[in-house]
A and B are shown apart, each in its own frame.
Chain A
Amino acid sequence: MSSSAALFYVFAAFTIVCAAGVAFSRNIVHSAFALLGALFGVAAIYVFLAADFVAGAQFLIYIGGILVLILFAVMLTHRIADVAVSNRAAGRPAALAVVGAAAWILGRAIVATRWPVAAALSDAPTTHAIGDGFLGPYVLPFELASFVLLAVLVGAIVVSRKELRG
């Protein structure tokens, strides 16, 4: 096994351990910081899959944006230190049954399918091609995405502001 493949498995294990921390931690703050580790591990996996731009976007948007938002929300809602209040879990056996069934079906699909794999895998950077794609065949979804983001920003402000009465 080459050293890069071994490193991939190290990062994959790190990601899974952190995701398990998100799922099973009894403290919501611990969950949030475990999510930081999981998102970092996913960014590392993108690097191993030769997706340099996606890895950068993962760092900037997920870790720099979404995780900070989540931490803000955790800190703004009080009594978070109280485990019984902050991260109560319910319906564990039923959830385990559903998750087990879904994971079994997906695992069978992964094993049973003969995935077509290209003979030669390219490690070339893809940023240039992604930029061409956004301004070429994907220009309409790209513009719609910017419109969605504007609507989301306005909507988030409207939803979260304090109502002025009188």
Chain B
Amino acid sequence: MPGVPLEHVLFVGLVLFALGLYTVLTRRNAIGILMGIELLLNAANIDYVAFARYSGTPTDGQIFAIFVIMLAAAEAAVGLAIVLGIYRNFESIDVDATHSLRH
């Protein structure tokens, strides 16, 4: 891809990271927080793949990106199962409402 310097790709990752961090910090909805975490992981992944490409040896960084995608799937499965459990117990997925471990 001629013409796109590495810094511009990193800035895309930076903006995604900032938006994901803002989502995680401001949302009171547990599913919204999970969406923010997905944005953060994608920002990190963009940087992994970008560094891998511009270093000239693309394999290792892409393998790490695939591990991140896999662990994101694991995190989403467990996280959403916990969210459904919280919803059954508290009738709400507002993280401020869940101040105790049992109802």
User: A: which residues have CB within 8 A of B?
Assistant: 1-2, 4-5, 8-9, 12, 15-16, 19-20, 22-23, 28, 31-32, 35, 38-39, 42, 45-46, 48-51, 53-54, 57-58, 61-62, 65-66, 69-70, 72-74, 76-77, 85-92, 94-96, 98-99, 102-103, 106-107, 110-111, 115-123, 126, 129-130, 133-134, 138, 141, 145, 148-149, 152-153, 155-157, 159-160, 162
CB pair A99–B22 under 8 Å, yes or no, is yes
Question: Chain B at the A interface: mostly helix, strand, loop or mixed?
Answer: helix
CB pair A99–B77 under 8 Å, yes or no, is no
Contact flags B21-35 to A (C-beta < 8 A → 1, else 0): 111011111011011
Question: Are A116 and B26 CB-contacts (below 8 A) given A16-B15, A51-B49?
Answer: no
Taking CB atoms and an 8 Å cut-off, the chain B residues in 65-96 that contact chain A are 65-67, 69-74, 76-78, 80-85, 87-88, 93-94, 96
CB pair B72–A66 under 8 Å, yes or no, is yes
Question: How far, in whole Å, are A38 and B85 apart by their CA atoms in the complex?
Answer: 28
CB pair B46–A45 under 8 Å, yes or no, is yes
CB distance from B36 to the nearest CB of A (A): 7
